[in-house]
């Protein structure tokens, strides 16, 4: 699993310029939160829309599972659906925590009004795991394929990453007259073809 670009910029500034933005959209730094909100659009490969749909699916699965345990009135469904952790539009900070696999305190506190903590964790843990697996497959793996291609376009090879900085090396500084190459300027058809072949080859 590849780290985000902002992490690589901190670890290896001699290879990754601190001025470089997200390789997919070229509009913001690529940190962990940006992965779920990146506006880069390819058919069936839009991280933002995928994140939205997975949040909704996770919320509805939780609601269905807890509602099946005992009769609950409409206020439970309304209150549960209104929790801040489901706010994917902004997204809220608690939604981003949930995306990382962390249960927000207000979510467990709300459920604890109706169920003991042991039941809450028993029900929600496998659903959270499924949610994480879906995000990994639908967003992270595709991003890694694209990121690998972007690294190659920047002349960053596996060998250069292993060598480390030379004695006289200094952090890369982008020229004000040149722009960071971005996948956002590549035609959709060529990337769909490239992604398909790369996945078949195992992402190499």
Evaluate the omega torsion of the peptide bond into residue 91 and state whether it is cis, within 30 degrees of 0.
Answer: yes
pLDDT single digits (tens) 127-144: 999 999 998 888 888 888
pLDDT of residue 50: 87
What's the number of domains the chain is made of?
A: 1
Q: Is residue 15 part of a domain?
A: no
Phi and psi of 185, rounded to 5°? -95, -5
pLDDT of residue 38: 84
Contact 127, 64 (CB under 8 A): no
pLDDT of residue 166: 65
pLDDT of residue 200: 40
Q: Is residue 85 part of a domain?
A: yes
Query: Tokens for 185?
Result: 């300027």
Q: Domain of 95?
A: 68-138
pLDDT of residue 198: 42
Q: Is residue 83 part of a domain?
A: yes
- For the chain, the residue count is 204
Contact 183, 146 (CB under 8 A): yes
Handedness of CA 15, 20, 26, 29 (dihedral sign): positive
Q: Is residue 171 part of a domain?
A: no
Whose tokens are 């959209």? That residue is: 25
pLDDT of residue 112: 97
pLDDT of residue 2: 59
Q: Which segments of the chain have a pLDDT < 70?
A: 1-2, 41-45, 166-204
0.75 exceeded by the pTM?
A: no
Q: Is residue 195 part of a domain?
A: no
Q: Is residue 98 part of a domain?
A: yes
Handedness of CA 180, 184, 188, 193 (dihedral sign): positive
pLDDT of residue 44: 61
Q: How far apart are CA 124 and CA 63, in angstroms?
A: 10
Q: Is residue 118 part of a domain?
A: yes
Residue 86 is classified by DSSP as: G
What value does the CA radius of gyration of the chain take, rounded to a whole number of Å?
21
Q: Is residue 93 part of a domain?
A: yes
Residue 28 is classified by DSSP as: S
């Amino acid at each position: 699993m590849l780290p985000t670009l902002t992490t690589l910029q901190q670890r290896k500034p001699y290879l990754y310029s601190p001025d470089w933005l997200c390789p997919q959209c070229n509009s913001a730094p690529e940190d962990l939160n940006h992965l779920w909100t990146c506006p880069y659009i390819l058919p069936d490969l839009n991280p933002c829309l995928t994140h939205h749909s997975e949040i909704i699916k996770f919320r509805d699965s939780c609601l269905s599972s807890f509602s099946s345990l005992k009769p609950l009135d409409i206020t439970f469904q309304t209150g549960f659906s209104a929790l801040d952790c489901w706010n994917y539009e902004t997204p809220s900070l608690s939604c981003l925590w949930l995306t990382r696999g962390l249960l927000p305190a207000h979510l467990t506190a709300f459920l604890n009004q109706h169920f003991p903590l042991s039941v809450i964790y028993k029900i929600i843990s496998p659903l959270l795991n499924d949610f994480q697996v879906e995000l990994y497959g639908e967003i992270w793996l595709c991003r890694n394929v694209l990121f690998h291609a972007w690294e190659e376009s920047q002349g960053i090879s596996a060998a250069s990453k292993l060598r480390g900085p030379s004695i006289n090396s200094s952090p890369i500084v982008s020229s004000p007259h040149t722009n960071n190459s971005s996948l956002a300027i590549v035609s959709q058809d060529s990337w769909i073809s490239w992604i398909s072949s790369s996945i078949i080859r195992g992402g190499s």
